[in-house]
Amino acid sequence: MSNQINPSMSLAKPEANDLSVKQKLAVAFGVIGLLIFGLAIFNTNFPNKTLFLTISIGLITLGIILFAIDSYLTKHEGIKNDGVWFKSMSSRGILAWVTGVLLTSFYIILYFFPMYLGLSSNGEANTGLISLFDPLSKLLSGNPASQWFVYGTLYTLAILAFGYKFMLKYRHNRYEQLRTASVMFFQLGFAFLIPEFMSRLNVSPDYNLPYYDLKSIWPLNYYLFDSWSVNGLLSSGSLGLLMLIFGVISIFVVSPILTYKYGKRWYCSWVCGCGALAETAGDSFRQLSSKKLSAWKLERWLIHAVLVFSVIMTTALIYTYLGQDPNKFWLTRSAFLISVGLILTLIFSAVMLFKRNELGKDARYGSIGYFVVIAALFIMYYTGTTDEIFLIKSSSLRSAYGLYIGSIFSGVIGTGFYPILGNRVWCRFGCPMAAVLGFQQRMLSKFRITTNGGQCISCGNCSTYCEMGIDVRAYAQKGENIVRSSCVGCGICSAVCPRGVLKLENDSIKGRINSNDILLGNDVNLIELIKR
């Protein structure tokens, strides 16, 4: 037999995956809803925008809900992965490529050419798609819509409708249901409604609040410390100051405590908006992530590089900001730089002192390398070698980060490539917040995925459906707990396991990282022998 593996081993199309009448109807609703958006993009001037916006959003939502009901409620509770690798959409078929290209183009237009969506300039009225959303925007914030409002609305809609679908799919699994309800709540409330309502405050001259999604934490929220953002917050009375303080506390206090107790999943799969979209609209693509060892290596270098970039960029930004008016703040430039240096050194030496043996070889080289770079830059500044901190103007750093990381990586590639690369590309390879949380999860957290003695049959469902590309089976078949920085705790590996082998747990630190050569169930003497 040849080495060639037939992708599905299927000679004819498996009939079971044809659409039912109700599903065809649902698709029709959804497509008609989208068609209205399409017409709007080509500048159809709808007579009653409120009505047409309601109809299109209503039809799309109805389509998704009807489709989900007919897909899942007609069957018994249980795992619903039949035909995943036969369907064009979920196995990189023609539908997946078309969707990938459309999504990617949408992101490029959204970030770089919003005028094609109908964004006005010079205070004129919006046209096209954006004008279709004006009524809703005016209802919420009182302002006409922007491209970001259109995007935010569609984003929230996707999370709510596909979140409902996901809850039906996993209606036997309360962990999945609860965390989906949680991301739906945070998206609708914190990311969408609250910022819109807050901008109503800005009618009063005392307020100048920037758009601020309170659950979006630095360094994911890389613009929190931009001068316009800080200025806006500081010029908005005690509410603005409170929000800025909340932002700082989130990263330095709330996040470490929650990550210690529950792992990074408290954020990545219960709160975060990027995670919310990945887990709901992106659920059909989770099996596409690469499980190769080479992908894991790339991931480790890339995500930590982005983190270092974002730390340097933010440090430079705040440094520059503080310099604009030296007497304005209690925090001086040098005090700030020294404290950043101190915090980084503290974390670095604590890890090297207590957790040295848990780091892989390349992780050790990597962290030493990064530390040396940062230290060198500080030294250069203090010895007067350069006038610009970190060699480059902070504003150019900021705009480079915004373009390459904020727009291209997280949006165009991260979401546009869902149907090709899987639904967590950004979270796995690029998100600096995930890097911070993952680092703590690996080093100092009670969270792990426990494997159940010797029960694994190496079937591979867990690895296949891990959206972060973790080869879960490699651990499970060795009876070893899974303690990986990248694990977002979505719980799907545990759900799809046919033998009840995996369980997400928060338990004591002791015995969390274990390694067994001989699995439970064999001769006790042999197990003892191997342990020695």
Q: Which residues contact other proteins (rule: CB under 8 A)?
A: 1, 3, 5-17, 76-79, 81-87, 172-175, 178, 292-293, 450, 452-455, 457-461, 463-464, 473-474, 477, 491, 494-496, 498-500, 503-505, 517-526, 529
Q: How many residues does the chain have?
A: 532
Q: How far is the CB of 100 from other proteins (least distance, A)?
A: 19
Residues in a beta bridge with 504: 449
Q: How far is the CB of 6 from other proteins (least distance, A)?
A: 8
Find the shortest distance in angstroms from Cβ 520 to other proteins: 6
CB of 270 to other proteins, least distance (A): 12
Question: Which residue matches tokens 């001989």?
Answer: 518
Report the residue number, 83 or 237, with the smaller CB distance to other proteins: 83
3-state DSSP call for residue 520?
Answer: strand
Contact 443, 352 (CB under 8 A): no
Which of 447, 501, 446, 511 lies closest to 473 in space, CA to CA?
A: 501
Residue entry with tokens 């390694």: 515
Torsion of CA 72, 76, 77, 78, to 10 degrees: -90
* Closer residue to other proteins, CB minimum distance, 225 or 465: 465
Of 77 and 362, the one with the shorter C-beta distance to other proteins is 77
Q: 78 or 369: whose CB is closer to other proteins?
A: 78
Closest by Cα among 491, 496, 13, 522 to 270: 491
Q: Which is closer to other proteins, CB of 12 or CB of 353?
A: 12
Cβ–Cβ under 8 Å, residues 392 and 253:
no
* Distance separating alpha carbons of residues 189 and 206, to the nearest angstrom: 24
How far, in Å, CA of 280 to CA of 269, rounded? Answer: 10
Which C-beta is closer to other proteins: that of 24 or that of 393? 24
* Closest distance to other proteins from the beta carbon of 260 (Å): 17
Cross-strand partners of 450: 503
Shortest reach from residue 7's CB to other proteins, in Å: 6
Identity of the amino acid at 424: R
What minimum distance in Å lies between the beta carbon of 144 and other proteins?
Answer: 43
The DSSP call for residue 513 is S
Q: How far is the CB of 447 from other proteins (least distance, A)?
A: 11
Measured from the CB atom, the residue of 320 and 481 that comes closer to other proteins is: 481
Centroid of chain to Cα 51: 33
395 vs 522 by CB, closer to other proteins: 522
How many Cα atoms within 13 Å fall on the side-chain side of residue 60? 21
Return contacts of 506-513, CB within 8 angstroms, 24+ apart: 506/261, 506/262, 506/263, 506/446, 506/447, 507/446, 507/448, 507/450, 508/446, 509/444, 509/446, 512/446, 512/448, 512/481, 512/483, 513/358, 513/448, 513/481, 513/483
- How far is the C-alpha of 272 from the C-alpha of 175, rounded, in Å? 17
Q: How would you classify the pairing of strands 447-451 and 502-506? A: antiparallel
Under DSSP, is residue 482 helix (H, G, I), strand (E, B) or coil? strand
CB-nearer residue toward other proteins: 206 or 517: 517
CB of 289 or CB of 440, closer to other proteins: 289
Nearer to other proteins, 205 or 500 (CB): 500
Q: How far is the CB of 444 from other proteins (least distance, A)?
A: 21
Helix (H, G, I), strand (E, B) or coil at 58: helix
User: Cβ of residue 466: shortest distance to other proteins, in angstroms?
Assistant: 11
Q: Judged by CB, which is closer to other proteins: 223, or 285?
A: 285
Name the minimum Å distance from CB 354 to other proteins.
Answer: 28
Q: Torsion angle of alpha carbons 176, 179, 183, 184, nearest 10°?
A: 60
| Nearest-approach distance from CB 82 to other proteins, in angstroms | 4
**Nearer to other proteins among residue 389 and residue 496 (C-beta):** 496
* Burial degree of 41 (CB within 10 A; 0-12, 13-18, 19+): middle
3-state SS, one letter per residue, for 305-322: HHHHHHHHHHHHHHHHHH
In whole angstroms, the minimum distance from the beta carbon of 450 to other proteins comes to 8
At 452, phi and psi to the nearest 5?
-95, 85
